[in-house]
């Protein structure tokens, strides 16, 4: 696959998402007795909401999955339906983290416990999800999509007018991952 290949682009984003999940796990595991790392959780949550979900899942839901469905990959009850369902469950976990963050920041032990539970569930779900995409769905995509479709995906992925794939935002999130 060439460097600009859209499937490779998605796989590279998986590596960035995994790095943030690993850092989030490590920081949450070290508290208590360390103070709850509220600022870090806020930054990680921002990345997961806007990069992992907003940008990455946008590319999959708005571009890749419809292109695969056009080529006959089943949606309802098939691999695309399963991926969409997992994106939805992931959003519920992120909402749980966001709801509990203000109280966790004040040191409320129940809120910290709830937030940690949502974060653990999210990390496990997403690692599994990424594995299935990398090893099953994206392999399928490599065979099913012709070069014209792949070019179309590349254009959509780099659409500057869409704020979810805006290059400035992207640079900010890449800098966050590099800082980990
Ligand atoms: Fe996905
Ligand atoms: Fe993905």
Task: Please determine, for residue 165, whether its predicted confidence score (pLDDT) is greater than 70.
Answer: no
> Contact 150/6 with Cβ under 8 angstroms?
yes
Question: CA-CA distance, 173 to 175, in Å (whole number)?
Answer: 5
Indicate if the pLDDT at residue 4 is higher than 80. Answer: no
Nearby residues of 47 by Cβ (< 8 Å), 6 or more positions away: 20, 173, 176, 177
| Chain centroid to CA 95 | 14
- Determine the distance separating the centroid of ligand 2 and the alpha carbon of 104, expressed in angstroms: 29
Protein residues placing their CB within 5 Å of the ion ligand 2? 133
The pLDDT tens digits of the residues spanning 79-132 come to 899 999 999 999 999 999 999 999 999 999 999 999 999 999 999 999 999 999
For ligand 1, a single-atom ion, which residues have Cβ within 5 Å? Answer: 60, 83
**Domain spanning 6-178: which superfamily?**
nmb1532 protein domain like (1.20.120.520)
Q: Which ligand is nearest to the Cα of residue 79, counting in written order?
A: 1
How is the chain split into domains, by residue range? Answer: 6-178
Predicted confidence band of residue 156 (pLDDT cuts 50, 70, 90): confident
Å from CA of 137 to ligand 2 middle: 10
* CA 34 to centroid of ligand 1, rounded, Å: 33
How far is the centre of ligand 2, averaged over its atoms, from the C-alpha of 134 (Å)? 8
- pLDDT averaged over every residue in the chain: 90
* Angstrom distance (rounded) from CA 164 to CA 118: 24
| Confidence band, pLDDT 50/70/90 cuts, at residue 160 | low
What confidence category does residue 161 fall into, taking pLDDT thresholds of 50, 70 and 90? low
Residue 31 has pLDDT above 80, yes or no: no
Read off the pLDDT of residues 57-78 as tens digits, 9 standing for 90 and up: 888 998 999 999 998 888 888 8
Rounded to the nearest angstrom, the gap between the alpha carbon of residue 26 and the centroid of all alpha carbons in its chain is 18
Predicted confidence band of residue 19 (pLDDT cuts 50, 70, 90):
very high
Confidence band, pLDDT 50/70/90 cuts, at residue 33: low
Does pLDDT of 173 surpass 70? yes
């Amino acid at each position: 696959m060439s460097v600009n290949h859209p499937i490779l682009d998605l796989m590279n984003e998986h590596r960035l998402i995994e790095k943030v999940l690993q850092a989030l796990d490590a920081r949450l595991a070290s508290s208590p007795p360390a103070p709850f790392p509220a600022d870090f959780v806020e930054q990680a949550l921002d990345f997961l909401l806007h990069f992992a979900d907003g940008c990455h899942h946008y590319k999959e839901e708005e571009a890749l999955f419809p292109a695969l469905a056009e080529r006959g990959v089943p949606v309802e009850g098939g691999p695309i339906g399963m991926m969409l369902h997992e994106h939805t469950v992931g959003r519920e976990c992120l909402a749980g983290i966001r709801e509990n963050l203000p109280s966790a920041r004040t040191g409320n032990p129940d809120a910290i416990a709830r937030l940690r539970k949502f974060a653990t569930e999210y990390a496990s779900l997403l690692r599994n999800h990424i594995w299935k995409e990398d090893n099953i769905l994206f392999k399928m995509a490599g065979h099913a999509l012709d070069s014209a479709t792949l070019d179309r995906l590349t254009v959509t992925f780099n659409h500057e007018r869409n704020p979810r794939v805006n290059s400035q935002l992207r640079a900010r999130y890449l800098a966050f991952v590099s800082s980990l």
